[in-house]
Amino acid sequence: MVTNLTESVSPSVWHGWGDPSHARPLGAGALEFLRSTLKLTSIDAGHPPVDLADVRVGPVALEEDDLDEIRAIVGTQHVATDAVERILHAGGKSTPDLLRRRSGDALEAPDAVVFPGRTEEVGQLLSLCVRRQLAVVAFGGGTSVVGGVEPLRGRFAGVVTLDMRRMNRLLQVDPVSRTASFEAGIRGPAIEAALAPHGFTLGHFPQSHQEATLGGYVATRSAGQASTGYGRSDELVKTVHLETPAGPFDVGSLAPGTAAGPKLLDVVVGSEGTLGVITAVTVKVSPTPEDKVYGSWSFPSFAAGADAMRRLRHDGRLGDMPHVCRLSDTDETASTFKLGGWKTGLLSGYLAIRGQQTPALSLFVWEGDRRGASARMRRSARILRRAGGIPLGPAPGKSWEHGRFSGPYLRDELLTRGVYVETLETAATWGQLEPTYQSVRRAILDALEARGGAAHVQTHISHVYSDGASLYFTFLSGLEEDWLAQNARVKEAASNAIVAAGATITHHHAVGLDHAPYMGAEIGDLGIKVLAGIKNTLDPAGIMNPGKLIPTPLETQP
């Protein structure tokens, strides 16, 4: 069974997040909060992006021969060299990515954007690119916030981006074994639409869900908002078809629990386009939940809330764990309350009376059949109350879910108003969570305020494990004139603090270009050598996504 989805993907705006028609303007309260918190004299819309017509792209560096060969493989209509398409593929969606394009700089745009339709075409394209010494960037939703899809040329004659959007079919569903196979270019909503008639969900909802592709999930080892319940992408994937310069590579096993040596699937998962192009994926699927039950509890501090999350995982029954588990620190809770209008104002007053002057808000979603989900929530509620939680009902969880994909849209308006905003994340063991939180938060704040401006950092836990949890930092300050240096300063300070704390450089944003310098600290020199050796086997010419993942200087790549 092959189901061809007639999915129309609304184009993502070239200088910002997603489809601009989904963006909502910042309210007066938010603007006032920003003005007072960041001590900015003005936050008017004085920094708009340049006109698209004024964006600079370099000349197409490909020979006409190259383009003819590419056209012969995929068809003329599936090869684009026009400025708009090149600008749309000039990078990902990190804040420096956007700032660069907003300023009119798309000089790093790929020479051509190719839209392959079949895995064999991808294989042929890679052979051609090896022969012609062209770098290749696989492009799914293009939502990387770590420079994962920067079309870097390195030492190559040109760079070709393969946009996978045409490869969006559901290939097979095995309802008995609960697996489904897809072409890798299918996006989050289309995955869910394809599975729904079979009664299944993938359960993978990263904030980039509406744009990102299944291949991107796998390539970046992504986690979604409900991954505490459904499992991360690396737990969901069973097999991958990877087209590599060394040939097609079917990796993974449909058979569960194989002990046949090292798990090479886990080499391809997280390989971020550096080994080949993921063209098909088989995943585990789950039955669509009948219902969702929401709950929210407030804690006297972030540490108390984190301990409650740990107890929920440790003391509760395994099956009682919510699919979504989030805990905001007191800063994030305060800003949520300030921006929430009169309702959250009342809530804030109530918590103060109950002794929580600076509360930390948690929210949970249990999925399943209604009776089961409610029973799980009731048992969990006992643990959370014993741990000092004040129950706040379902509203905060529902409100979060309603807006859960809209956060990144706010960044576009903030940048236009001269506000720098970025996010980064890590994870640590329960034992190291509080010191990691404190030191990374401090490092971000100090770096942001190093030039004298005021800053705001807020943090939440979004994923809970038996052995620890994730930490997600969102931070804002006035946009400095040299925003590139500002961004580098903050990211470097945060990354160094993460490394010093023994935490991981990334929990779900992956490595890309931005975190590559920290991979040595993360996996050791010998780990880097192992990765380089694997790359040398599958991509001996080094054409696949140069400069990403492995911190090899581009000039000296193998």
Annotated catalytic sites, by residue? 472
CB of 293 to a second copy, least distance (A): 14
By beta-carbon proximity to a second copy, the closer residue of 23 and 214 is: 214
For position 272 contacting a second copy by CB under 8 A, the verdict is yes
How many residues form the binding site for a second copy (CB under 8 A)?
90
Residue 556: CB atoms within 10 A of its CB come to 8
Determine which residue in the list 78, 118, 165, 263 makes contact with a second copy, applying CB under 8 A: 263
For position 91 contacting a second copy by CB under 8 A, the verdict is no
Determine which residue in the list 131, 314, 343, 378 makes contact with a second copy, applying CB under 8 A: 314
Asked whether residue 220 is marked as a ligand-binding residue, the answer is: no
Asked whether residue 213 is marked as a ligand-binding residue, the answer is: no
By beta-carbon proximity to a second copy, the closer residue of 102 and 284 is: 284
For position 171 contacting a second copy by CB under 8 A, the verdict is no
Binding mask 205-234 vs a second copy (x if CB under 8 A, - otherwise)? ---------------xxxx--------x-x
C-alpha to C-alpha distance for 509 and 518, rounded to whole angstroms:
14
Interface stretch with a second copy, choices 63-71, 194-202, 387-395, 427-435 (CB under 8 A): 427-435
Sign of CA dihedral 525, 530, 531, 537: positive
Asked whether residue 273 is marked as a ligand-binding residue, the answer is: yes
Asked whether residue 277 is marked as a ligand-binding residue, the answer is: yes
| Residue 229 CB contacts under 8 Å (≥ 6 apart), including other chains | 203, 321, 322, 323, 324, 367
H helix and E strand count, the chain: 19, 18
R_g over Cα of the chain:
23
For position 301 contacting a second copy by CB under 8 A, the verdict is no
Nearest Cα neighbor of 280 from 243, 320, 323 is 243
For position 119 contacting a second copy by CB under 8 A, the verdict is no
Asked whether residue 531 is marked as a ligand-binding residue, the answer is: no
For position 271 contacting a second copy by CB under 8 A, the verdict is yes
Determine which residue in the list 3, 81, 127, 253 makes contact with a second copy, applying CB under 8 A: 253
Q: Of all helices (H) and strands (E), which one includes residue 366?
A: strand 360-368
C-alpha to C-alpha distance for 549 and 539, rounded to whole angstroms:
14
CB of 362 to a second copy, least distance (A): 18
Interface stretch with a second copy, choices 325-333, 344-352, 415-423, 525-533 (CB under 8 A): 525-533
| Residue 76 CB contacts under 8 Å (≥ 6 apart), including other chains | none
Ranges within 277-296 binding a second copy (CB under 8 A): 284, 287
Record the tokens describing residue 116, joined without a space.
């392959």
Per-residue burial over 124-134, b if 16 or more Cβ lie within 10 Å, else e, is bbbebbbebeb
Nearest Cα neighbor of 163 from 190, 139, 195, 198 is 139
Secondary structure class of 122 (helix, strand, coil): helix
Determine which residue in the list 25, 59, 262, 553 makes contact with a second copy, applying CB under 8 A: 262
Interface stretch with a second copy, choices 18-26, 76-84, 132-140, 263-271 (CB under 8 A): 263-271
Determine which residue in the list 319, 402, 481, 555 makes contact with a second copy, applying CB under 8 A: 319
Record the tokens describing residue 360, joined without a space.
């930390």
Asked whether residue 278 is marked as a ligand-binding residue, the answer is: yes
For position 368 contacting a second copy by CB under 8 A, the verdict is yes
Determine which residue in the list 247, 345, 349, 391 makes contact with a second copy, applying CB under 8 A: 247
Sign of CA dihedral 426, 427, 428, 430: positive
By beta-carbon proximity to a second copy, the closer residue of 250 and 291 is: 250
For position 468 contacting a second copy by CB under 8 A, the verdict is yes
Widest CA span in the chain:
74
For position 386 contacting a second copy by CB under 8 A, the verdict is no
Residue 261: CB atoms within 10 A of its CB come to 6
C-alpha to C-alpha distance for 225 and 54, rounded to whole angstroms:
38
Asked whether residue 411 is marked as a ligand-binding residue, the answer is: yes
CB of 92 to a second copy, least distance (A): 15
Q: What are phi and psi of 423, to 5 degrees?
A: -135, 155
Binding mask 478-517 vs a second copy (x if CB under 8 A, - otherwise)? ------------------------xxxxxxxxxx---x--
**9 DSSP assignment:** P
Record the tokens describing residue 527, joined without a space.
């780990």
By beta-carbon proximity to a second copy, the closer residue of 254 and 352 is: 254
| Residue 395 CB contacts under 8 Å (≥ 6 apart), including other chains | 294, 296, 343
For position 427 contacting a second copy by CB under 8 A, the verdict is yes
For position 198 contacting a second copy by CB under 8 A, the verdict is no
CA distances from 220 to 38, 142, 223, 234, 507 (A): 33, 12, 9, 9, 10
- Which residues sit in the known binding site for substrate? 411
